[in-house]
Structure 1
Amino acid sequence: MATEFDVIVIGAGPGGYVTAIRSAQLGFKTAIVEREALGGVCLNWGCIPTKALLKSGEVYEQLGHLGDYGLSAENRSFDFAGVIERSRKVAAQLNSGVGFLMKKHKIEVIEGEAKLEKGDPAPKVAVTLKKGGSRTVQAKHVILATGARARTIPAVGLEPDGDRVWTYREAMVPKACPKSLIVVGSGAIGIEFASFYRALGADVTVIEALPRVLPVEDEDVSKAAQKAFEKRGLKFRVGATVKKLAKDKSGVSVELEAGGKTETLKAERAIVAVGITGNVENLGLEALGVRIEKGHVVTDAHGGTGAPGLYAIGDVAGPPWLAHKASHEGVHCVEHVAGLPSSNLTAPIPGCTYAQPQVASVGLTEAQAKEKGMKVKVGRFPFRANGKAIAAGETEGFVKTVFDEATGALVGAHMIGAEVTEMIQGYALAITMEATEAELHATVYPHPTMSEAMHEAALDAYGRVLHI
């Protein structure tokens, strides 16, 4: 006989485990099914360990510029195995932390691979247990949070082999730092790995099919980012399509086409970072009538799939593929199930790229605002005019704001520079609270901080900038 729960969550990534915690807080008897590790890709193979790697790369690169601060150190070097080990320890620490949270909230963790079967009122969940055997559980509500994996293109050789060609997973645990590297794709994942390996001295070339790097970002930020990365020694081929990737004992060769011309690049290793696709296979979704489009489950405004009692949140339900979006959707979904007024799903979702320099944005780009028919007011402020940035030696980059002239509403903000991923939440809060230029102009920012540039960019949009 099936075990009864109120809510079963499938997948224990940042979307799934947060959903399970909120479910338990609401008084639901909750279970979570996970086939690999608590925390999912983000905690174990994505967001967290990559930031540990990037921090090691950042510190090592900064050691090469100690003279700028009146300091010196001899024999700069790195232990690559130690760098990798540190990132794995960080992931392990947080994995155990999620396990503690599950126990604290009395959430039953079922280790195994789930498959959905027809049931009433919601699908049954048949689990092939990791330790052997099987178990079937049932609940009033089932929430899919199975995440996504790296997209590959086997037809042209863009497929990992565990040796010469990597996805993000292999790129986090290599035995040695490659002397040369080709990264296919200049989204956040591709750029972060390119930044890390370049910091440790690798010769890195990034290939991007679209006309500019970080193509989802505002064009001004995208252009500035490429210039900053090139200053660090990164190389780019934009508007370039990969025709074929070939491997041999010495490395990889990538044939690409750009502007009607072909070129072949060679390197020791290649990273495939051309997007992700949802984990929708082998779940029994088709038999339940669940629609799948472009590798993702189709859902309504509350995560409903159309199948009774079955919901989907996070990466498996489509872009943007961000951990914080998955957590937010999960909380919204389970609160909707509980009949509560749901958390705001129209709030803008910040995006961050943790390279050197960092990139962060929220809301509409200038071009997107204009496409929507808005007449916009745009403000900009460079960090080279910010006192704290000058004192810290972090003058690269700027802040850009986009306002709707008709209403004064802040509709977008875009930043490039040191620690902007920590500052973007200020603008996210402002847009969520429907702030206008009046509120942003009246806000008192502490001095000296880099966040003062956020104030100045808002002032600049209305001709009131103070420090330029």
Structure 2
Amino acid sequence: MRKPALFLALAVVIAALIWLIGRNPPDLDMLREQLIDLDAWRVERPLLVAALFFAAYVAVTALSLPLAVWMTLAAGALFGFGWGLVLVSFASTIGATLAFLAARYLLSDWVHGRFGNRLQAIDEGMTRDGAFYLFTLRLIPAVPFFAINLLMGLTPIKAWVFYLVSQIGMLAGTAVYVNAGTQLAQLESLSGILSPPLILSFLLLGFFPWIAKFALRLVKRRRAHAGWSRPARYDRNLVVIGAGAAGLVSAYIAAAVKAKVTLVESHKMGGDCLNYGCVPSKALIRSAKLAHQMRHADRYGLAATRPEFSFRGIFERIQAVIAAIEPHDSVARYEGLGVDVRRGHARLIDPWTVQITDDAGNAERLTTRAVILATGAAPFVPPLPGLDAVGYLTSDTLWEEMAQREAGPKRLVVLGGGPIGCELAQSFARLGSEVTQVEMLPRLLIREDEEVSALVKASMEADGVTVLTGHRARACGITDGEKWIEVEAGGKTRRIAFDDLLVAVGRAARLDGYGLEELGIPTGKVIETNEYLETLYPNILAAGDAAGPFQFTHTAAHQAWFATVNALFGKFKRFRADYRVIPWATFTDPEIARVGLNEAEARERKIPYEITRYGIDDLDRAIADAAAQGFVKVLTRPGKDEILGVTIAGEHAGDLIAEFVFAMKQGHGLGKILSTIHIYPTLAEANKFAAGEWRKAHVNPTALRLLERFHAWRRG
């Protein structure tokens, strides 16, 4: 409370001084009269007068008093142009820096606590380009001097950077006023100092850094394209390679703004999500959950029963689900939107030329101003000895293989304990398979908190999955016609027999065969891009799984907007990809959803936090639905309701997290969620009750005691 009180006291003092100055505002005649006495004193004691003048100027600028212009004129009149410029330049910069530091000390914490995430983009921009913006503002005299000092104090720009940039940036404007002071006798008004041509010159000077930055970008683009022959004209504005989530959204946006765009897909429209990932896996999870509920129907007051089904029937349903969604991503739909859709393999020939080869081997080359690489990812298959000999399934090949079978695998080994491995292991176990899950890390879902991993593991084991964490796969083989995998833990090895092996250890970006190496585009695990999603060549961008850092359909679509806008309009305005609020979910039972930080990440980054937790076992709707397990866990800044991250474990967690995603994106705290009406009885009330738990933990006990006395007094 001392900082706000000190700020208030200082504001009152400054307001009083400004009021006193306003009662008798200075003018040129008053300045000339004061200078007569000062000039005589200066002749007698030049160093003392200079020192006192310097100190007074520092105080005036530090307190943001409206006297700086008059003192600058006085400096020119008293000390001449040279010494006057030196005195004012250093005094004004020191005073500005003191005002900057005062604003930072007194206001920065309060402002960031009040507005939270809404300032994050500004803070990131100032950390990266603060010196550039400050220099521009210092060159434009129309921007108030004191406002720059105070507002910059609320940003993360370093104090020494602020000082140096201010020292240089204010020099030109200071020189103009000091020079005017040397001619004070001829000056009739302040308006005569800044003539229209001089104001225009300052404005041009202020815009010069932006012009220089634009010119540097052009030079960089030309340097990147050096050695390549640019086409005289282009067949397309944009070519998008890959028709998954990122590619489809990119093509959609380009067509919507009337760009001529070609979308190239070598396999199936809709990419992995529609055909092998999100859609079929969720359809499988739903069937498996229903089978589980039938076995445990006594929880709902019904007779438990053993579900009867064929795997072929379940997987026919999955194909029907894909077929129902397929029109959303179809060639016909996108051609109707104005997209030129091509089936074939695309390869970069040069930065502006894409060669498309169809299944018959016919090749066509298109020139384009920009390219977006949305090539996606494929299951990663580890170099495990004997793996090819025993045969294996992946999340890509699983669906067609199982659709041919009447019964599922009797003994299934799932290699991998990430989201895909956990979802599929639990589903197959619920459909009657004997499932063993092998994970070399110490726990499942390693990116989540330990309690989340423990909850998922317990649930999967309750469904019959044998979970082997801390076990490394060593080799596969066949002995007497029986397939096996050898795993090692604690220096001991064992063999696990299986009928089918599902490899789900992660996904790797598709990078080969697109001409990236020939063009020298750097790649690691993904295509290397900058914050604008540009590769080595600014007109070639990447989005989705191929670009990273996230492998989610929703982040691929999110990146596609930035990539497309930068590809089409990047010469005029570019946008940095925004990863501040990225949610995700793992669709096990219970579901796990998260946005922002969890405890493990907060500790690793040494970010102070508080935990608020609400157990879903206390929620009326969850009890009624026999789904009373899980929790809502919220991380906030200590003493504040600003949300740093949320983890939800429980029924429909992937749906419930949306309220927190919105709150974080818009900078709303838990207080806003608590004050929002939620329908009773719904699972969404868990979010409000979590906010209520935070409020109860932050009630002021002194205020409660005063209220108790007040009510006692009211009773008489």
**Unaligned 5+ runs, structure 1:** none
Normalization by structure 1: what TM-score? 0.93
Summarize deviations over 1:225-281 as a string: whole Å, max 9, x none.
111211121111111111112246855311111122222211111111111111100
Give 1:404's aligned residue.
637
The reply to whether residue 297 of structure 1 matches residue 530 of structure 2 is no
Name the structure 1 match of 2:337. 105
Deviation at 1:343, TM superposition (A): 7.9
CA distance in 2, matches of 1:248, 1:171: 24
Shift of 1:287: 1.6
Deviation at 1:17, TM superposition (A): 0.4
CA contact (8 A) 1:377 1:461 kept: no
Q: For 1:311 and 1:251, how far apart are their aligned partners in 2?
A: 48
Decide whether the 8 Å contact of 1:377 with 1:462 is kept in 2. no
Q: 1:458 aligns with which of 657, 678, 691?
A: 691
1:338-353 correspondence to structure 2 within 5 Å: 338-339=568-569, 342=575, 345-353=578-586
Match of 1:58 in 2: 289
Q: Which has the larger radius of gyration?
A: 2
Against the structure 1 CA distance between its residues 444 and 38, is the aligned structure 2 distance closer, same or farther, given a 3 Å change threshold?
A: same
- Partner residue in 1 for 2:353: 124
Report if the CA contact (8 A) 1:114-1:127 is conserved.
yes
Task: Determine whether 1:317 maps to 2:544.
Answer: no
- Counterpart secondary structure, 1:97: helix
The AA in structure 2 aligned to 1:260 is: G
Question: Per the alignment, do residues 344 and 147 of structure 1 end up closer, same or farther by CA in structure 2, a change over 3 Å counting?
Answer: closer
Contact preservation (8 Å) 2:594, 2:647 = yes
Bigger relative contact order (CA 8 A; separation at least 6) = 1
Residues 193-238 of structure 1: CA distance to partner in whole angstroms, max 9, x if unpaired? Answer: 1011011011111111111101111222111111121112111111
Q: Pick one of 406, 411, 419 that aligns with 2:652.
A: 419
- Alpha-carbon deviation of 1:438? 2.5
Q: Which residue of 2 aligns with 1:29?
A: 260
Quote the residue 2:661 is aligned against: 428
Q: 3-state DSSP class of the match of 2:317?
A: helix
Indicate whether 1:382 and 2:615 are aligned.
Answer: yes
Q: Which residue is equivalent to 1:442?
A: 675
Name the SS of the counterpart of 1:311 in structure 2: strand
Match of 1:165 in 2: 392
Which structure's residues are more often strand, by fraction?
Answer: 1
TM-score (norm 2): 0.62
CA–CA distance in structure 1, aligned partners of residues 321 and 576 of structure 2: 31
Tell whether 2:372 aligns with 1:135: no
Contact 2:296–2:304, Cα closer than 8 Å, also in 1: no
Structure 1, residues 302-336: CA drift from partner, whole Å, max 9, x if none? 21001241001111112321111111001111122
Q: Equivalents in 1 of 2:480, 2:514: separation in Å?
A: 38
Aligned to 1:79: 310
- 2:325 and 2:468 mapped to 1: Cα distance? 37
Structure 2 Cα separation of the partners of residues 251 and 358 of structure 1: 35
CA distance 1:277–1:141, change in 2 (3 Å): same
Aligned to 2:378: 149
Mapped to 2, the partners of 1:178 and 1:264 lie a distance apart of 18
* CA displacement 1:47-104 (0-9 Å, x = unmatched): 1011111111111111112222222376630121010111112222322321243023
Compare the two structures and name the one with the higher helix fraction.
Answer: 2
Letter in 2 for 1:153: P
Determine the structure 2 residue equivalent to 1:68: 299
Q: Indicate conservation of the 8 Å contact 2:585/2:591, yes or no.
A: yes
Structure 1 residue 221 and structure 2 residue 448: aligned?
Answer: no
Amino acid paired to 2:453: S
Distance 2:265 2:249 in 1: 14
Q: How many residues align?
A: 460
C-alpha change, 1:439 and 1:247, in structure 2 (3 Å) is: farther
- CA pair 384-270 structure 1, distance change in 2 beyond 3 A: same
**Matches of 2:639 and 2:605 in 1, distance apart?**
13
Q: 1:297 to 1:341 in 2, by over 3 A?
A: closer
Amino acid of the structure 2 residue aligned with 1:388: R
The alpha-carbon deviation at position 36 of structure 1 amounts to 0.3
CA deviation map 1:340-373 (0-9, x unaligned)? 6748613322121112221111111112112222
* 1:328 alignment partner, SS class: helix
Cα 1:322/1:250, change in 2 over 3 Å: farther
Provide structure 2 residue ranges, at least 5 long, that are not aligned to the other structure.
1-230, 700-716
Q: CA deviation at 1:465?
A: 10
Distance in 1, Cα, partners of 2:583 & 2:460: 22
Partner of 1:231: 462
Secondary structure in structure 1 of the residue aligned to 2:344: strand
